[in-house]
Amino acid sequence: MVSYTLRRLIEAIPVILLVTLIVFLLNAAIPGDPGRIRLGQRADPAAVDAYNEARGYNDPLPVQYGRYLWRLFTDFDLGESDVKAGKSG
């Protein structure tokens, strides 16, 4: 029974990573600049750049994905909510 449980847990790891990758890529594929979307169309370009830089949106996608996984599995942080102010989760 223990070996069955361990095998199932080990088999779940690639599935979890694949699901997180799909969710991350779908979120990254949303058209538009994240800072511009969050701050509005009339926001100052410097404020938009500062927003994107502070949240790591200017980094390459593999770096962003690694940071996303790290926050997800260490802090259970799902990121910022697009619906309400503050963190999701």
* pLDDT tens-place string over residues 27-65: 999 998 889 988 999 999 999 999 999 999 999 999 999
Whole-structure pTM value:
0.77
Q: What is the pLDDT of residue 87?
A: 62
pLDDT of residue 81: 72
Give the span between the Cα atoms of 42 and 36, in whole angstroms: 8
More confident residue, 80 or 66: 66
Closest by Cα among 13, 20, 35, 31 to 80:
35
Q: Does the structure show a pLDDT above 70 at 83?
A: no
Output the pLDDT for position 85: 60
Q: In which region does residue 40 sit, left (phi positive, over 0), alpha (psi from -120 to 50) or beta (all else)?
A: left
H helix and E strand count, the chain: 4, 0
